[in-house]
């Protein structure tokens, strides 16, 4: 009988700091795996939520890490999605980053919310060592404004969004999706 590790009953746990969301795995050129995720010591949306990577040399039996893509001590970083470039082995990660470190936001009805993990800029970093270290510099993807942005309480000066999915390559270009909130 073959054990299928994709099933919860027979699978192996991916480590986290407590809370874990959107663990995505890419297979590295050397056969190891890099798993990226949103994690934190609290629950979803609490301060300290950030993005990390783990590396497994043996298809998920053991894991090294976490390796901070963004630290828990910084502004919220969430909803990380990896993309490995086959020709170079470089891994890019794309995520929502609360660059301006907003601590609360106003809803259309005037109420204030302290949850700030789905707003900011679309950021990315890269790794050339299978996810153990990440570029010091953070880069931003510009996003055009939609009516929902222009009509939010900030008139589009604050963008509310997240990424869910898998970035992909097509004809030499990388594509990554964002869902407006």
pLDDT (0 to 100) of residue 145: 96
CA dihedral 16, 18, 21, 23 (to 10 degrees): 10
End-to-end CA distance of the chain: 45
pLDDT (0 to 100) of residue 140: 98
pLDDT (0 to 100) of residue 93: 98
**Count of Cβ atoms closer than 10 Å to residue 39 Cβ:** 25
Q: Are 55 and 64 in contact (CB under 8 A)?
A: yes
Which residues make Cβ contacts (< 8 Å) with residue 66, sequence separation at least 6?
A: 15, 16, 17, 39, 52, 53, 54
pLDDT (0 to 100) of residue 29: 95
pTM, entire model: 0.93
CA 83 to chain centroid:
11
pLDDT in tens, the chain (181 residues): 777 766 778 777 888 888 999 999 999 999 999 999 999 999 999 889 999 999 999 988 899 999 999 999 999 999 999 999 999 999 999 999 999 999 999 988 889 999 999 999 999 999 999 999 999 999 999 999 999 999 999 999 999 999 988 999 999 999 999 999 8
pLDDT (0 to 100) of residue 12: 78
Structure tokens at 84: 């490995």
pLDDT (0 to 100) of residue 5: 65
């153990």: which residue's tokens? 132
């Amino acid at each position: 009988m073959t054990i299928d590790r994709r099933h919860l009953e027979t699978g192996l746990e991916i480590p986290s700091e407590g809370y874990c969301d959107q663990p995505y795995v890419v297979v590295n050129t050397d056969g190891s795996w890099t798993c990226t995720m949103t994690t934190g010591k609290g629950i979803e949306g609490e301060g300290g939520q950030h993005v990390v990577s783990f590396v497994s040399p043996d298809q998920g039996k053991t894991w090294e890490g976490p390796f901070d893509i963004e630290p828990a001590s910084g502004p919220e970083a969430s909803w990380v999605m990896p993309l490995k470039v086959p020709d170079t082995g470089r891994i890019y990660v794309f995520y929502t980053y609360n660059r301006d470190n907003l601590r609360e936001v106003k809803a259309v009805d005037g109420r204030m919310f302290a949850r700030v993990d789905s707003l900011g800029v679309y950021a990315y970093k890269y790794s050339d060592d299978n996810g153990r270290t990440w570029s010091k510099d953070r880069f931003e993807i510009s996003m055009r404004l939609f009516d929902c942005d222009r009509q939010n309480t900030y008139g589009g000066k604050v963008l509310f969004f997240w990424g869910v999915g898998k970035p992909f390559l097509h004809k030499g270009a990388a594509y990554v999706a964002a869902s407006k909130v």
